[in-house]
């Protein structure tokens, strides 16, 4: 039975986590549209569903918290209380504790109860609103009216009353239950139906919904039969096998050039098409909409705006854009930090915005779109923008750069200083930002995903952070280069351009070799020298890379071209070697090491 209990708990955890993520967005929307009956019902049902599953698993702290919230929104639905800011704040705080308890359940820890102060506030609000009316009248619940043709009369009960009745029959607290006062007890006793009335009500309910059930029966069956839940480890194993198949396909395509056989060519061409389609189909099984991450941001934006006393409207665009599952999970923390920064640093205070002719409420846009084999995600605000001179002054003040370096930096290069460890423009440390960490972590995380982040800003108009990451981490678009007879792979997301190396344009600045590229200094790293081998005599190429340290030119012997490679981890004995993040097999069967461009730049 313990195995069955664990499976049920796991299913509950998955469902409850999805509901909690959705509740954050729904609560924010309900606060903006308090008369929206559908939203109110959705919030009520969300807490009710979590409470039901938690009750089955005997998760008492979670049951008590969800029941308190359910009580309050039940009062709102019945018209006995107003959806005031106190309830909205309390619900958001309570939702944070619901998420915290679900995390504890997932880690196998004992659930900590909600703070006494929060429970007291919720319960006191309930008691304050539960004032007996002089003439008890049943408030009209917010439900969808019965289909035309169904009988309705004084003895018909609503869906909500039927669920409350089931709760009473099972000995559970109902959705609209109040304090155990004598008057409430008497009213409940008078309203308790007999078993015969209960059976009749159930028959009427079944008759009332028969038409709808028939209309959606086929759809429900299709959804159940075509949707299954699979362990992600099995999907990862399939992806690995497809990766091996892609490598074999690349090898065969390379060998085809040395064979002059039409039948072999046709067979390899057919295999190429099938392998490509299989690879695409398997990758789609790992794809998830970015909306899974975006759904948490209305709550994040609301909480941050409240904390810094600003008014902000968050707009989500492209939530249906699909991305690899591992990337969706990894992007959550960097995006949270960027959205918090956009509100705290970017958007001006309401009074300031009014004085300069802007709407009191600032706008933050979180958008996603697909660009070829990459996904572009941007966080944009209409705030005051970033002053590059202020950035350079702060970097000098913190000792991150010297005066000469600051004088040579253009606006785009100055914006990159934001990503330096320890950089912050905040004069006062708060819980939102300004602790001198964060943006460097954002950039490091994005680069771990083989992506990059750029900044575009204009004073008085706002700032845009643009993140570009590959669709999947299993297959890496790479540029293959040669150095000392060996093949190396550079992540294509870090490559900006390739050009011939011209020694005449070589300069020395501060003891470093610099390439004069279109009147802009470009630091150089020679791949052969980095490998510790003799320099090459003859033509070379420069690969212009975008790294965390800034633009960098990597001088290589030869550029082979673009190829999709399957990333293989290095053996444990080699994982500490600087400058390498993995290995792959190229189409001609040779092993190629995948280079870490950031580590090369730091060297």
Q: How far is 48 from 40, CA to CA, in rounded Å?
A: 12
| Domain-ending residue, one of 416, 449, 470 | 470
- Between 128 and 590, the higher pLDDT residue: 590
Q: How far is 491 from 479, CA to CA, in rounded Å?
A: 6
- As a whole number, mean pLDDT of residues 236-264 equals 82
Given a cut of 60, whether residue 158 has pLDDT beyond it is: no
Q: How far is 576 from 579, CA to CA, in rounded Å?
A: 9
- Given this model, what pLDDT does residue 4 score? 54
- Given this model, what pLDDT does residue 357 score? 93
Same structural domain, 333 and 407: yes
pLDDT digits over 203-217, tens only? 444 444 443 444 444
Same structural domain, 78 and 209: yes
pLDDT digits over 52-97, tens only? 888 888 899 999 999 988 888 888 888 888 888 888 888 899 999 9
- As a whole number, mean pLDDT of residues 221-231 equals 58
Per-residue pLDDT band at 159 (split at 50, 70, 90): low
Same structural domain, 307 and 397: yes
Q: Does residue 225 form part of some domain?
A: no
| Full-model pTM | 0.65
Same structural domain, 328 and 417: yes
Distances (CA, A) of 266 to 116, 252, 256, 271, 589: 73, 12, 10, 9, 21
Same structural domain, 76 and 117: yes
| CATH number of domain containing 273 | 1.10.287
| CATH number of domain containing 307 | 3.30.565.10
- As a whole number, mean pLDDT of residues 44-54 equals 90
Q: Does residue 377 form part of some domain?
A: yes
Q: How far is 168 from 185, CA to CA, in rounded Å?
A: 13
With left for phi above 0 and alpha for psi between -120 and 50, is residue 457 left, alpha or beta? beta
Q: How far is 501 from 71, CA to CA, in rounded Å?
A: 72
Distances (CA, A) of 126 to 13, 163, 520: 28, 20, 67
Q: Does residue 144 form part of some domain?
A: no
| Domain-ending residue, one of 470, 486, 521 | 470
Domain count, the chain: 4
How buried is residue 518: exposed, middle or buried, by Cβ count under 10 Å (0-12/13-18/19+)?
A: exposed
Q: Does residue 317 form part of some domain?
A: yes
Q: How close are the terminal C-alpha atoms of the chain, in Å?
A: 57
Which has the minimum average pLDDT: 119-133, 185-199, 327-341? 185-199
pLDDT digits over 546-598, tens only? 887 778 999 999 999 888 788 877 777 776 677 888 888 887 778 888 888 88
Same structural domain, 448 and 480: no
Q: How far is 440 from 574, CA to CA, in rounded Å?
A: 26
Other C-beta atoms lying within 10 Å of the C-beta of residue 48: 19
Q: How far is 504 from 513, CA to CA, in rounded Å?
A: 12
pLDDT digits over 296-343, tens only? 899 899 999 999 999 999 999 998 988 888 888 888 889 999 999 999
Q: How far is 155 from 201, CA to CA, in rounded Å?
A: 8
Same structural domain, 526 and 438: no
Q: Does residue 140 form part of some domain?
A: no
Q: Are strands 495-500 and 558-566 parallel, antiparallel or unpaired?
A: unpaired
Per-residue pLDDT band at 138 (split at 50, 70, 90): very low
Which has the minimum average pLDDT: 103-117, 178-192, 430-444? 178-192
Q: How far is 350 from 363, CA to CA, in rounded Å?
A: 12
Same structural domain, 332 and 439: yes
Same structural domain, 525 and 545: yes
Same structural domain, 275 and 357: no
- Judge whether 141 and 161 are in contact, CB under 8 Å: yes
| CATH number of domain containing 514 | 2.40.50.180
Q: What is the DSSP string of 232-284?
A: HHHHHHHHHHHHHHHHHHHHHHHHHTT---HHHHHHHHHHHHHHHHHHHHHHH
- Between 158 and 35, the higher pLDDT residue: 35
Same structural domain, 93 and 158: yes
**Angle made by CA atoms 434, 438, 442, in degrees to the nearest 5:** 150
- Given this model, what pLDDT does residue 128 score? 46
Per-residue pLDDT band at 170 (split at 50, 70, 90): very low
Same structural domain, 491 and 573: yes
Which structural domain range is residue 419 located in?
Answer: 290-470
Distances (CA, A) of 369 to 317, 321, 375: 8, 6, 6
Q: Does residue 142 form part of some domain?
A: no
- Given this model, what pLDDT does residue 482 score? 92
| CATH number of domain containing 174 | 1.20.120.160
- As a whole number, mean pLDDT of residues 166-191 equals 40
Q: How far is 481 from 541, CA to CA, in rounded Å?
A: 9
| Domain-ending residue, one of 216, 250, 268 | 216
- Judge whether 100 and 106 are in contact, CB under 8 Å: no
Other C-beta atoms lying within 10 Å of the C-beta of residue 211: 13
- Given this model, what pLDDT does residue 575 score? 67
- How many residues belong to the chain? 603
Other C-beta atoms lying within 10 Å of the C-beta of residue 379: 24
Q: Does residue 224 form part of some domain?
A: no
Q: How far is 271 from 250, CA to CA, in rounded Å?
A: 10
Q: How far is 328 from 294, CA to CA, in rounded Å?
A: 10
């Amino acid at each position: 039975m313990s195995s069955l209990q664990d499976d049920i708990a796991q299913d509950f955890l998955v469902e409850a986590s999805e509901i909690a993520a959705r509740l954050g967005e729904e609560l924010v929307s309900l606060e903006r549209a308090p008369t929206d009956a559908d939203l109110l019902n959705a919030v009520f049902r969300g807490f009710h569903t979590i409470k039901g599953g938690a009750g089955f698993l005997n998760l008492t702290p979670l049951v008590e918290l969800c029941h308190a919230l359910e009580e309050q929104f039940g009062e709102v639905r019945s018209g006995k209380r107003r959806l005031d800011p106190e309830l909205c704040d309390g619900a958001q705080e309570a939702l944070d504790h619901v998420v915290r308890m679900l995390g504890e359940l997932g880690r196998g820890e004992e659930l900590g109860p909600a703070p006494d102060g929060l429970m007291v506030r919720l319960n006191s609000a309930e008691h304050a609103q539960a004032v007996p009316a002089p003439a008890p009248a049943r408030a009209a619940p917010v439900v969808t009216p019965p289909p035309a043709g169904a009988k309705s009369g004084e003895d018909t009960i609503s869906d909500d009353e039927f669920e409350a009745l089931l709760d009473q029959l099972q000995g559970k607290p109902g959705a609209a239950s109040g304090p155990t006062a004598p008057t409430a007890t008497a009213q409940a006793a008078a309203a308790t139906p007999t078993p015969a009335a209960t059976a009749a009500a159930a028959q009427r309910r079944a008759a009332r919904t028969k038409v709808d059930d028939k209309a959606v029966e086929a759809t429900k069956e299709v959804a159940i039969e075509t949707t299954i839940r699979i362990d992600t480890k099995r999907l990862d194993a399939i992806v690995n096998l497809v990766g091996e198949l892609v490598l074999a396909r690349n090898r065969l395509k390379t060998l085809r050039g040395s064979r002059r056989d039409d039948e072999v060519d046709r067979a390899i061409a057919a295999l190429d098409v099938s392998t490509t389609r299989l690879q695409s189909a398997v990758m789609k099984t790992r794809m998830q909409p970015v909306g899974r991450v975006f759904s948490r941001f209305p709550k994040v934006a609301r909480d941050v705006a409240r904390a810094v006393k600003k008014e902000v409207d968050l707009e989500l665009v492209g939530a249906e854009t699909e991305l690899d599952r591992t990337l969706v999970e990894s992007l959550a923390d960097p995006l949270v930090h960027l959205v918090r920064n956009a509100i705290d640093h970017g958007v001006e205070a309401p009074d300031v915005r009014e004085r300069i002719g802007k709407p009191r409420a600032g706008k933050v846009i979180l958008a996603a779109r697909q660009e070829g084999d990459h996904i572009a995600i941007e966080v944009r605000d209409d705030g005051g923008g970033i002053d590059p001179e202020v950035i350079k002054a702060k970097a000098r003040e913190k000792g991150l750069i010297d005066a000469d370096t600051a004088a040579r930096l253009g606006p785009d290069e100055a914006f990159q200083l934001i990503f330096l460890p320890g950089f912050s423009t905040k004069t006062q440390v708060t819980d939102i930002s300004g602790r001198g960490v964060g943006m460097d972590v954002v950039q490091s995380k994005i680069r771990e995903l083989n992506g990059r982040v750029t900044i575009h800003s204009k004073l008085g108009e706002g700032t845009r952070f643009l993140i570009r990451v590959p669709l999947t981490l299993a297959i890496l678009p790479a540029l293959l280069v040669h150095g000392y007879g060996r093949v190396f792979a550079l992540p294509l997301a870090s490559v900006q351009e390739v050009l011939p190396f011209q020694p005449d344009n070589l300069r020395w600045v501060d003891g470093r070799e610099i390439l004069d590229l279109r009147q802009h200094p470009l630091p150089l790293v020679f791949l052969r020298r980095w490998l510790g081998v003799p320099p090459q005599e003859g033509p070379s190429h420069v690969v212009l890379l975008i790294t965390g340290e800034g633009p960098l030119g990597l001088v290589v012997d030869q550029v082979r071209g673009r190829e999709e490679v399957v990333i293989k981890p290095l053996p444990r004995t080699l994982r500490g070697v600087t400058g390498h993040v993995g290995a792959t097999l190229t189409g001609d069967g040779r092993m190629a090491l995948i280079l870490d461009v950031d580590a090369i730049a730091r060297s």
